[in-house]
Structure 1
Amino acid sequence: MLQESAQSGRRASKRLGSAAVQAVKEIGKGVASAVSSILSAGGGAVVLVLLMTVILVAAIVASPFGILFSNESREAGVVPLSAAVAQVNYEFNERLETLQTADDYDSISVDGQAADWIEVLAVFAVKVAGADVDATDVATMDADRIARLKAVFWDMTTITHRVEIIHHPGSGDDDGWTERNLYITITAKTAEEMKTEYHFNRNQIAALDELLEQRDLLRELIEDVYSVSGDTAALLRDLPEGLSPEREAVVRTACSLVGKVNYFWGGKSLVIGWDARWGELRQVTAAGSSTTGTYRPYGTDCSGFVDWVFYNQSGGGYVIGHGGGATAQHSYCTDISWADAQPGDLVFYPDNSHVGIVGGRDANGELLIIHCASGYNNVVITGKEGFTSISRPRYYTI
């Protein structure tokens, strides 16, 4: 009976109306208080009502609409949906980088954008959780789900390229020269097209249409700067007692972007919360990097990340670099010894070529650094390897 009820609930959840979908997240939050009220009421109906409540919630989580819960888990190996999207964007960037750096080109032109992430997520949720066979929930984003998400993304995004070669003849002592121009075309499929591509059945099509009506909810999941992964949550739990509110806020704000925003040379973002430009394909225009002139998903660089953190922590009232890079940020700090390091202090590579924020210490007492690193193409938490100096922002009162 329980199995049949769960299957029935799963089928019903696929046909949830728009109003019900918007209430899905509230159902999960209200379960604890509802259970408490039911138990206090007593009587033979208690167990039945409780059982049906659990079945309803379980059915929703197991359905394609379970993706609306995907930022709730703090388990090890599980990441927020925005971090999963950043991982796919990393692979997207790698493929573009490979094409753009395969040769020395006189010009690079990129036409098109990757598939709309809202539509990718909706199709992914329906394909994985709405399948008739081997369905898997999408309420948690672990390595297996991310691999499935990548597969859907690449089914919806195609990259083609061609190289134009123009020979310019010389004259006299001039041997002439050969012009090489790279043209990259990115073609995206829509969710509507994927209904046919994936041979979705009637229930899957209905679920997909319902999810696509919840674009704002799906966008909130991608742009959620409050959800963190299990490892990041552990760092926050281990912050020392007595840490000043300003320092704690800086660390928590820095942790909010871990795994979520790709590296972009010259990327700056003085906005409160999520920057809508992050993830958009853009050309790197800032000079001084091997990536200058190439196209990649927009994000932030190391100093841009630090600026965003202090800007958001202060509610938009403070930019630590005052518009400059890591060197400018260093100039608004006071150098200290490593022994005096506290969460929220800044650390630098030689010649201020890179900057990060002290996040805390690991189980062995070693410093943990939060930084946007080109080598990882993301905001990461690492040890202090490579950082040779530490400074205290004069922003702090203590």
Structure 2
Amino acid sequence: MADIKTRDAVKGTIKTIDKAAVAGQRMKQAYISTKDKAEHSTSAAENSADEYAADKFERGVDTAVHEGAHQFDKAGRKGVKTTKENIYKTKDGIQNFKAKRAEKALQKQSQNIGGKTVRTAEKSAEKTVKQSARSAGKKTIKTVGKGSAKTAAKSVKTAEKTAKTAIKTSQQAAKAAQKTAKASAKAAQKAAQAAKATAKAIVAGVKAAVKATIAAVKAIIAGIKALVAAIAAGGWVAVVVIIVICLIAAIIGSVFGIFFSGEDSGTGQSMQTAVQEINTEYDNKLLEIRNGNTYDVLEMSGSRAVWKEVLSVYSVKVNTDPDNPQEVATMDDSKKQLLKDIFWEMNSISSRTESKSETVITETDDGNGNIVQTETTVTRTYLYITVSHKTVDEMTVQYGFNQEQKDYLTELLQDKNNSLWSSVLYGITASDDQIVTVALSQIGNVGGEPYWSWYGFGSRVEWCACFVSWCANECGYIDTGVIPKFAGCVNGVQWFKDRGQWMDGSAEPVAGMIIFFDWDNKGSSGPQDGLSDHVGIVQKVENGIVYTVEGNSGDSVRVNQYSVGHYEILGYGIPQY
């Protein structure tokens, strides 16, 4: 009977151990599930700056913002659902942990009961053996005598020895069961501690991510407090906004950060100020050449690299430099020097003078109404100034760009990004006076380069219309049919008149209109011939004065002014911006 009780106690203990093992396995599975979900939720593959840039720039910046907001709205709702599921699973884990503690307490109680059962069994077995020995001994003595008594005594000793062995075996089994139970309980406790530590680590990671996100947002948006307040109030839409902002921050750190460089980042400099300084340096070099030589005839040829090409090469080279990569969204003295170095590596100016003997024919009146032609040989000095530039492909070879860097250049130079380049270079967005800002950025440029060369001329021509066309192209207005590409003023007038977009010169214009002049009989109030001789861009109108930006005004880009209705103003082209 005692053996049966002992066996039952051992079985109970083993059953408790099995339950503990099952509970431990459940906790392990819950931990793995939680870990997988945590890893899944923090995956950054879909937030790659390269993927975002290739996809969003393909659709255009405006479409990217709206579409991105829509997609992140869906992602936000899904994130809320996933978060709820994780909360429920966390609650289940806590309940399992409580159940485990209860099982541990039951196990301990079972161990105590098992120990008491073993001790009870030992005492019971001893008592049974002793009673059996006494009864059997007395009965045998009475029945068979002394000889048989010895045999009986021997049997008693054997039975006693067997019983003691059984007791010892039971004790060892009970101790082993207790030891196993303790080991299982300890393992379960360690598993619980590990799960708790993992949970703390996840919380710490989330907190760190939140801090990093807040830091990024502070660097971009001054109104971060409002967003944080919205998050605290449960506004998950604000979280979507922050995610979008973080993606923008990722773009800012890439080669596409150049599109954010038009604003002063706190250094007192921006891409616009750097470009203006380099433009001035370029113009000064041309003036130095002209002022440093005595000449009769000036001939300029060639062209310099357009700025979006220079900035694209700069952005890729500086941002992807394997030795010292830097963000290109901000401007400072060191980056300005890098930009200057690249500009002058892409552009060069050379000059030479040459004296030529030429025959000049002059006509005079002999006093009798006859025209007399006289040939005279004169020596003239020609100053030749040649501007040349390297192409983007030549620069990729010079800098040893890899395929990825070449792909970046291709994307940056897409025509669809022209409005972005206008914003960077001139600080403008699409508006009626966008072309005015572009024109003003060219003040001081002399010789008509790069306007006539951009148009397609191999040497200098009268370039006032080329200048207007170049400014329009910088704004994307030629591709959209807002302003024509024209080199002759008469053709420009006809284009606007054909479309009913013409206003007489006596009217008061507004900024962004194209102003055409008729300079026949210049200096007098006589009638004009109705054909345009010159063209510019209306900057503004104040107090009856029309301010203009004109190319080829004294062979440079200048701001001029005229009274409203001035007799030299033929009329105005009215672009449909």
TM-score by length of 2: 0.39
Give the one of 3, 15, 22 matched to 2:54: 22
- In structure 2, what residue type is equivalent to 1:38? A
CA gap of 1:316–1:193, structure 2 versus 1, over 3 A, is: closer
What is the CA distance between 1:214 and its match in structure 2?
Answer: 3.1
Q: 1:39 matched to which residue of 2?
A: 76
In the superposition, relative to structure 1, how do residues 317 and 163 fare at CA in structure 2: closer, same or farther (>3 Å)? Answer: closer
Once residues 253 and 65 of structure 1 are traced to their aligned partners in structure 2, the CA distance between those partners, rounded to angstroms, is 22
- Residue-by-residue CA offset, 1:139-197 (whole Å, 9 max, x unaligned): x78999666533311133233334456799xxxxxxx976644455556453235426x
- For residues 284 and 399 of structure 2, the distance between their equivalents in structure 1, rounded to whole angstroms, comes to 28
Q: 1:300 aligns with which of 440, 460, 467?
A: 467
Deviation at 1:44, TM superposition (A): 5.9
User: Structure 1 residues 98 and 61 mapped into 2: Cα distance closer, same or farther (>3 Å)?
Assistant: same
**Structure 2 SS opposite 1:126:** helix
Q: How far 1:371 moved relative to its partner?
A: 2.6
Distance 1:314 1:166, change over 3 A: closer
1:195 correspondence with 2:394: no
Q: Which residue of 1 aligns with 2:491?
A: 323
Residue 462 of structure 2: which of 279, 286, 301 is its match? 286
* Contact 1:257/1:379 (8 A) holds in 2: no
Alignment root-mean-square deviation, CA: 6.2
**Residue 61 of structure 2 is aligned to residue 61 of structure 1:** no
Q: 1:128 to 1:345 in 2, by over 3 A?
A: closer
Contact 1:75 1:230 in 2 (8 A): no
Select the residue among 405, 410, 428 that pairs with 1:208: 405
- 2:467 is aligned with what amino acid? T
Alpha-carbon distance between aligned partners in 1 of 2:317 and 2:478, rounded to the nearest angstrom: 40
The match for 2:316 is 126
Q: 1:102 to 1:70 in 2, by over 3 A?
A: same
Residue 86 of structure 1 contacts residue 260 of structure 1 at CA under 8 Å; is this kept in 2? yes
Offset at residue 356 of structure 1 (A): 5.2
Look up the equivalent residue of 1:31 and give its one-letter code.
G
Paired residues of 2:300 and 2:384 also in contact (CA < 8 A): yes
**In 1, Cα distance between equivalents of 2:434 and 2:54:** 28
Q: Structure 2 counterpart of 1:286, which letter?
A: E
Question: More helix by proportion, 1 or 2?
Answer: 2
Gaps of 5+ in 2: 1-43, 85-205, 210-238, 359-376, 523-531
Write the distance in 2 (CA, Å) between the matches of 1:359 and 1:123. 32
- The answer to whether the 8 A contact 1:342-1:360 is kept is yes
Q: How far does residue 107 in structure 1 lie from its aligned partner after superposition?
A: 5.9
Q: CA deviation at 1:66?
A: 2.6
Q: Specify whether residues 336 and 254 from structure 1 end up closer, same or farther in structure 2 by C-alpha distance, changes over 3 A only.
A: same
- Cα–Cα, structure 1 residues 370 and 75, in superposed 2: closer, same or farther, change >3 Å? farther
1:44-84 Cα distance to aligned partner (Å, 9 max, x none): 669989576654432222112333x3599799999898x98
Q: Say if 1:106 and 1:180, in contact at 8 Å, map to a contact too.
A: yes
Q: Which residue of 330, 345, 366 corresponds with 1:155?
A: 345
- Matched position secondary structure for 1:371: strand
Separation in structure 2 between the aligned mates of residue 277 and residue 186 of structure 1, nearest angstrom: 10
Q: Bigger radius of gyration, 1 or 2?
A: 2
The counterpart of 2:289, out of the listed 93, 99, 110, is: 99
Partner secondary structure for residue 467 of structure 2: coil
Aligned length: 323
State how far apart, in whole Å, the 1-side matches of 2:515 and 2:554 are.
Answer: 18
Displacement after TM superposition at 1:213 (Å): 3.7
Residue 239 (structure 1) aligns with: none
Alignment of 1:81-100 (within 5 A): 88=278, 91-100=281-290
Matched residue, 2:150: none
Contact 2:301–2:460 (CA<8 Å) still a contact in 1?
no
Cα distance in 2 between the residues matched to 1:376 and 1:128: 39
**Aligned partner of 2:327: which letter?**
T
**Structure 1 unmatched runs, 5+:** 1-7, 169-175, 197-203, 237-250, 268-274, 290-297
1:214 is matched by which residue type in structure 2?
Answer: E
Q: What are the within-5 Å matches in structure 2 for residues 218-367 of structure 1?
A: 219-222=415-418, 227=423, 251-252=432-433, 254-255=435-436, 257-259=438-440, 278=454, 282-286=458-462, 299-300=466-467, 322-323=490-491, 334=504, 336=506, 351=522, 358=538
**Is the 1:108–1:182 contact (alpha carbons within 8 Å) kept by the matching residues of 2?**
yes
Distance 1:116 1:317 in 2: 18
Identity among equivalent positions (%) equals 20
Aligned-partner Cα distance in 1 for 2:485–2:380: 49
1:371-398 deviations in Å (ceiling 9; x for gaps): 3355799888x7xx632233775979xx
SS of the residue corresponding to residue 283 of structure 1 reads: coil
Q: What one-letter code is carried by the residue in structure 2 that aligns with 1:372?
A: E
Sort the Cα spacing of 1:317 and 1:128 in 2 relative to 1 into closer, same or farther, 3 A: closer
Measured in 2, the distance between the counterparts of 1:135 and 1:97 equals 35
8 A contact 1:347–1:355 mirrored in 2: yes
Distance of aligned partners of 1:71 and 1:114 in 2 relative to their CA distance in 1, 3 Å threshold? same
Q: Taking CA–CA contacts closer than 8 Å with sequence separation of 6 or more, which of the two structures ends up with the larger relative contact order?
A: 1
- 2-structure distance, mates of 1:310, 1:208: 30
Match in the other structure for 1:137: 328
Alignment-derived partner of residue 91 in structure 2: none
- Counterpart of 2:454 in 1: which secondary structure? coil
CA distance in 2, matches of 1:111, 1:342: 35
